[in-house]
Amino acid sequence: MDRIFPRLTVSLSKLRGNASEIVTRCAAKGIDVCGVIKGCTGIPQVAQAMVDAGVKQLGSSRLEQIVRCRRAGVPGPYALIRIPGLSEVPDVVRWCDMSLHSERAVLDALEAECARQDKSHRVIVMVDLGDIREGFWDQDEMVEVCVHVERDLPHLDLAGIGVNLGCVGSVQPTPEKMNDLLALRDRVEAAIGRKLDIVSGGATSSFTLVHWDTMPQGINHLRIGENILLGKDLQLEWGIEDMNYLAMDTFTLTAEVVEVKTKPSYPQGKLCMDAFGHKPVYTDYGIQRRAILALGKADVGDEKALLPREAGITVWGASSDHCILDVTHCGREIKVGDTVDFSLAYSNLVYVTAREDVNVVCVDDCEVKN
Ligand SMILES: *Cc1c(COP(=O)(O)O)cnc(C)c1O
């Protein structure tokens, strides 16, 4: 059975445009870009658009997405950007050219597996500079592990070091944090007696330093996903208005209306709990024109993050498979069978692309971005 809606339309030309704006700006500062495809579940055409725009590698946190793109014929090299588990090591060697690391035991297992498969593999060792996710906290230990890779693990090529910021700990990338990374690079280089290839300064949030021209010289690699895929976090959440060289309407989610009725906005009766076991607090907006879409939290995660393309439409709420819109103030009269278009937030994109029953359509138009 092939479903028509929900439909996700992917503008490959806009994605290529975003990627090339970012690649060009980074290149001007001596920075290579790893294009991160995990936000769209590794759609191969999206990966190819990034390659066409000049990214140096493709990165994903998930091996399956790297396998998916390789099988679709998208050339790498591929970097696994979630530190791998011991159970994943054979596939990391088989499918990836490079990976990020923070555990000596995994690096040792990777060496043994490389020997078994007669392959070499590049590694980036991660430091934690305060975001409290992955990476060495103890920098003496990190230098020791780098020396161990260099001296004792012949199948591994210590390509460089890296950091992640602005994720779970929401720590802002700053020139100071980047200088801390460069100081650590100097220590590692002194300990191994050669230069490192890669100093990887972070993700989309670190692109701000490129945009503002405050990135310290020496950071030569960023791993960028969201800013290519959606261009939204820095423009809308950070409020960086002069980043409007990036399109935010790269992906369009189209949903079908299955009910339109005039109803109260406040539930009637004794309130207990909703479908997810929560006890929401409702606001009484009076009588509304309410439209139900044939999609829900199972398709988009947090429905409140959806961005309706049309003025006068707001998302009221959702359960797993129903999403309710307030269309009271919409300029057109919405009827059953009509469709409604949305731009997506990153979390919406992660959910919707992971579903097998959403109809994904890639278009390669050359229209000017707006
Ligand atoms: C997800 C991720 C990225 C890319 O993050 P964006 O915010 O989408 O640019 C980069 N590095 C690592 C380690 C990641 O997990």
What would the pLDDT profile of 178-198 be if each residue is shown by its tens digit? 999 999 999 999 999 999 999
Tell me, what's the pLDDT at 169? 85
Tell me, what's the pLDDT at 156? 98
Reply yes or no on whether the pLDDT at 163 is more than 60: yes
Single-letter amino acid code for the residue at 114: C
Reply yes or no on whether the pLDDT at 366 is more than 80: no
Pocket test for ligand 1, best of 164, 199, 243 (most atoms within 8 A of CB): 164
Reply yes or no on whether the pLDDT at 230 is more than 60: yes
Tell me, what's the pLDDT at 1? 81
* Tokens (6 digits) for 190: 């002194």
* Tokens (6 digits) for 158: 């210590």
Tell me, what's the pLDDT at 168? 83
What atom of ligand 1 comes closest to residue 34's alpha carbon?
A: 10
**203 CA → ligand 1 middle, Å:** 5
- 294-345 pLDDT tens trace: 999 999 999 999 999 999 999 999 999 999 999 999 999 999 999 999 999 9
Pocket test for ligand 1, best of 41, 96, 125, 167 (most atoms within 8 A of CB): 167
At residue 2 the predicted structure's pLDDT band, cuts being 50, 70 and 90, is confident
Alpha carbons 177 and 120: distance in angstroms, whole number: 31
- Over range 159-166, report the average pLDDT: 96
Percentage of the chain beyond pLDDT 90 is 94
Tell me, what's the pLDDT at 256? 98
The protein residue whose alpha carbon is closest to atom 12 in ligand 1 is 81
Pocket test for ligand 1, best of 50, 198, 223 (most atoms within 8 A of CB): 223
Reply yes or no on whether the pLDDT at 287 is more than 90: yes
- 196-213 pLDDT tens trace: 999 999 999 999 999 999
- 78-80 vs 57-60, strand pairing mode: parallel
At residue 369 the predicted structure's pLDDT band, cuts being 50, 70 and 90, is very low
Reply yes or no on whether the pLDDT at 79 is more than 80: yes
**15 CA → ligand 1 middle, Å:** 17
The protein residue whose alpha carbon is closest to atom 13 in ligand 1 is 81
List of residues 6+ apart from 135 with CB closer than 8 A: 102, 126, 127, 128, 129, 163, 164
The pTM for the full model equals 0.96
Mean residue pLDDT of the chain comes to: 96
**277 CA → ligand 1 middle, Å:** 32
What residues act catalytically? 38
Tell me, what's the pLDDT at 28? 98
Alpha carbons 130 and 141: distance in angstroms, whole number: 16
At residue 367 the predicted structure's pLDDT band, cuts being 50, 70 and 90, is low
- Over range 201-229, report the average pLDDT: 98
Ligand 1 binding pocket, CB closer than 6 Å = 36, 38-39, 61, 81-82, 164, 203-204, 223-227
What atom of ligand 1 comes closest to residue 346's alpha carbon?
A: 8
Tell me, what's the pLDDT at 368? 47
- 123-143 pLDDT tens trace: 999 999 999 999 999 999 999
Tell me, what's the pLDDT at 365? 78
**224 CA → ligand 1 middle, Å:** 6
Please state the three-class secondary structure of the chain as a single string: CCCCCCEEEEEHHHHHHHHHHHHHHHHCCCCEEEEECHHHCCCHHHHHHHHHCCCCEEEECCHHHHHHHHHCCCCCCEEECCCCCHHHHHHHHHHCCEEEECCHHHHHHHHHHHHHHCCCEEEEEEECCCCCCCCECCHHHHHHHHHHHHHHCCCEEEEEEEECCCCCCCCCCCHHHHHHHHHHHHHHHHHHCCCCCEEECCCHHHHHHHHCCCCCCCCCEEEECHHHHCCCHHHHHCCCHHHCCCCCCCEEEEEEEEEEEEEECCCCCCCCCCCCCCCCCCCCCCEEEEEEECCCHHHHCCHHHCEECCCCCEEEEECCCCEEEECCCCCCCCCCCCEEEEECCHHHHHHHHHCCCCEEEEECCCCCCC
**352 CA → ligand 1 middle, Å:** 19
What atom of ligand 1 comes closest to residue 36's alpha carbon?
A: 4
Tell me, what's the pLDDT at 42? 98
- Over range 81-103, report the average pLDDT: 98
- Over range 34-54, report the average pLDDT: 98
At residue 247 the predicted structure's pLDDT band, cuts being 50, 70 and 90, is very high
24 and 45 in contact (C-beta within 8 Å)? no
At residue 99 the predicted structure's pLDDT band, cuts being 50, 70 and 90, is very high
**61 CA → ligand 1 middle, Å:** 8
- Over range 21-49, report the average pLDDT: 98
